[in-house]
Amino acid sequence: MKRFPLSLFYKLKEREKANALRKLQDYCYSIQVDFSSNDYLGFAKNRDIFEETHQSLCAKGMRQNGATGSRLISGNHDLYVKTELYLSKFHQSEEALIFNSGYDANVGFFSAVPQRNDIILYDELCHASIRDGIQMSHAKAYKFQHNDIEDLEKLIIKFNISSAQFASGSGQHSTFNIYIVTESVFSMDGDCPNLEELVALTEKYAAYLVIDEAHALGVFGSPETSGGEGVIQSLGLQDKVFARIMTFGKGLGCHGAAILGSAELKSYLVNFARSFIYTTGLSPHSVATILQAYKHLGKDKEVLQQLKSNILFFNQEKLRLGLKPMFVYSKSAIQCAIIPGNDKVKSIATQLQQNGFDVKPILSPTVPEGQERLRFCLHSYNSEKEITQVLELLSTFVF
């Protein structure tokens, strides 16, 4: 069929006119220096992880290409059980439940856990997967200003009172829950909320805290272990959070995600999270890769330390070159330079790419108009020389 709906055609033209039309592009790893991928530790290209995964499968006699079905029918192979047990111990959580992706985990959680009459309060910059899951929920949802604890508390007070009055006046049961949702590292800013204050707030008002740690896994970790467990464990708050979403497609360099929480939460998700129930499970190879990546995360201390050193050096070079004011404050592997305007930020990104550095522009409507940016993703395998070169180039293009 050659016909195409005019309404969709015009939407594409609008994107094209705004210089914001997305296109799939080939990516050549050998030509440009990587400042764009989420492979913070280089695990996606780690030969040891690749070979150890293959050897572990062969040792178990597992030569199965697919899961064969959903986990509730035929797809719950032994590797799932072993890997979830490893994750729960690594993250000091009662249980872990693996999903096919971070998107599936967030959609599954938020569409199933908050109930009618419950209230979801989420940071205005939360990821699209969180927002999509919230839209599928029967709960009422309201956003609070980015990393603004005072604004969040005002909303809690407001809806605690109004919900209690509503329930009392209608004769309905007065029980309702408040879920507070944020990310430990924001994907488009690289900044972090004050999690100690958030925990104190949730305890004060008996709310449930949900943290997406997608961009923290492998980057932040406990001071005792330096194992890249995420921001929550680095602060010792793992027993204060209702649910953590850990995504494996960033720091672990593979695929999938897990929700960490209580045994009751795991059982509930198995029974009610539709993105878990109604999908084919991950292949044995995918789950084995997750397990091997986690084992390397626990022992490859030098790689984690090199990433931390590169983040520190990047921030020092920003300051030296006078670039700091244009960057969002961040001590994570995500560093964003605000350059308003799709045309301008794309032009500068193209110049950096032509000079051998793969830096991607983030355009509106992915970010709000006027907040367009260059997004630098730092890795353990970036050299100090490469960091200096790309920032010096940037300074010549913007000044």
Q: 28 pLDDT band (50/70/90 cuts)?
A: low
pLDDT of 43 over the 50 cut: yes
266-294 pLDDT, tens digit each: 999 999 999 999 999 999 999 999 999 99
Q: What percent of the chain has pLDDT over 90?
A: 86
Better-predicted residue by pLDDT, 130 or 227: 130
Mean pLDDT over the full length of the chain:
93
Alpha carbon dihedral 259, 260, 263, 265, in 10-degree steps, equals -50
194-208 residue pLDDT tens:
999 999 999 999 999
pLDDT tens, 156-166? 999 876 555 44
pLDDT the model gives residue 162:
55
Other CB atoms within a 10 A radius of the CB of residue 25 amount to 7
Give me the residue spans of the domains in the chain. 18-41+301-398, 50-299
List for the chain the helix, strand, coil content (%; round to 5): 45, 15, 40
Q: Is the pLDDT of residue 33 over 90?
A: yes
How many whole angstroms separate alpha carbon 375 and alpha carbon 393? 15
pLDDT for 166 equals 44
Q: How confident is the model at residue 170 (pLDDT cuts 50, 70, 90)?
A: very low
* Biggest alpha carbon–alpha carbon distance for the chain: 68
Q: What is the per-residue pLDDT across 378-391, written as a single tens digit (0 to 9) for each?
A: 999 999 999 999 99
- Tens digits of per-residue pLDDT, 70-102? 999 999 999 999 999 999 999 999 999 999 999
Rounded CA gap, 375 and 349, in Å? Answer: 9
pLDDT number for residue 150 = 97
pLDDT tops 80 at residue 300: yes
Q: Is the dihedral of CA 36, 38, 42, 45 positive or negative?
A: negative
DSSP 326: G
pTM of the shown model: 0.93
Output the CATH code of domain 50-299. Answer: 3.40.640.10
Q: What is the DSSP string of 234-280?
A: HTT-GGG-SEEEEESSSTTSS--EEEEE-HHHHHHHHHH-HHHHTSP
Instruction: Give the angle 210-213-214 at the CA atoms, nearest 5°.
Output: 130
* Superfamily in which the 18-41+301-398 domain is placed by CATH: Aspartate Aminotransferase, domain 1 (3.90.1150.10)
Task: Tell me what pLDDT residue 27 has.
Answer: 64
Which pLDDT score, from 0 to 100, does residue 302 have? Answer: 93
The pLDDT of residue 30: 58
Distance, CA of 124 to CA of 136 (rounded, Å)? 17
Phi, psi of 250 (to 5 degrees): -110, -95
Greater pLDDT, 17 or 263: 263
> How confident is the model over 233-262, as a mean pLDDT?
97
Query: Under the phi-then-psi rule, with left for phi > 0, alpha for psi from -120 to 50, and beta for the rest, what region is 171?
Result: left
Residue type, 324: K
